[in-house]
Amino acid sequence: MASPIKPNNPDNGSDRLRTVARYSGIGMQMAATIGLSTWAGYWLDKHYQTKTPWFTLGLMLLGLFAALYNVIRAVSKGE
C-alpha cells in the first residue's frame, strides 16, 4: 500500500538500468509501431495505386491506436 504505483521500486543500480532500458524500449516501440504501420499503408497504396491514400490513413490511425494501447498496457504493467 505504501507505493501502489511502483511495486518494484528500483532500489539498486541494476534495477534502475533495467527500468531505463524498459522505458526506452517502450518509447522505441511506440515510434516503430506508428512508423511501420504507416509504411505498410504507404506501400499498399502504392501497390494498389489507390487514388486516395486510404491504406496510409487507416493504417496510420491503427498504428497510432496500437502504439498508445501498447504503451498504456506496458506502463500499467508497472513492474
Q: Considering the complex, state which of residue 31 and residue 57 has its C-beta at the smaller distance from other proteins.
A: 31
Q: Least distance (Å) from other proteins to the CB of residue 29?
A: 5
Q: Least distance (Å) from other proteins to the CB of residue 52?
A: 21
Binding site for other proteins (CB under 8 A): 1, 3-5, 7, 14, 17-18, 21-22, 24-25, 28-29, 31-33, 36-37, 62-63, 65-66, 69-70, 73, 76-78
Q: Is the CB of residue 15 less than 8 Å from the CB of residue 8?
A: yes
Q: Where does residue 20 rank: exposed (0-12), middle (13-18), buried (19+ CB within 10 A)? A: exposed
Q: How many CB atoms lie within 10 A of CB 64?
A: 15
